[in-house]
Structure 1
């Protein structure tokens, strides 16, 4: 079972005090893989917040703001994203194009290996 709770959309304060609209967030606990272009293989992370425009992940000490990565979670495979911010072991990633959060929350059935 995936836990999630919707947080309302609204404006968030950015640099210089300006307000920027943002998509509604879902509080989730999902496993994801993040692959960078300058690292060997994908790394495992937990997604804590999810919206159509981005995610907040943990265990992200190695990510740097401005880096381009590919995020795979649920039925969503290799969605391009940019690291917008990092703080301790957390990172905020913004998708290059909006995604359907239901795809990220979908359970994927893997084929049976013979």
Structure 2
């Protein structure tokens, strides 16, 4: 089936639309394939915790307690699955890829 091209479900060609910044083609495709809206990524980058992911990149994720606060404040909906969402950000704050965590991240 073809990808959805509705403007709320696809990554914008202009990086400032949702405040995401530069987005790679890989991240754009993975976001569409995994049904991750740009608004969700913008919220993740704003409220998420950054941890080193190797080779100068960072993993941005939302811990459960932070997700519960966003739900209580009404900033996200329960069906958005923000607590499983992650993003890999490059050295110049370029969004490299996005996805859903399905395994625990060991510290």
Q: Please give the TM-score of this superposition, normalised by the length of structure 1.
A: 0.29
Q: Which has the larger radius of gyration?
A: 1
Q: RCO greater where, 1 or 2, for CA within 8 Å and sep 6 or more?
A: 2
The structure with the largest helix share of the pair is 2
TM-score, structure 2 normalization: 0.30
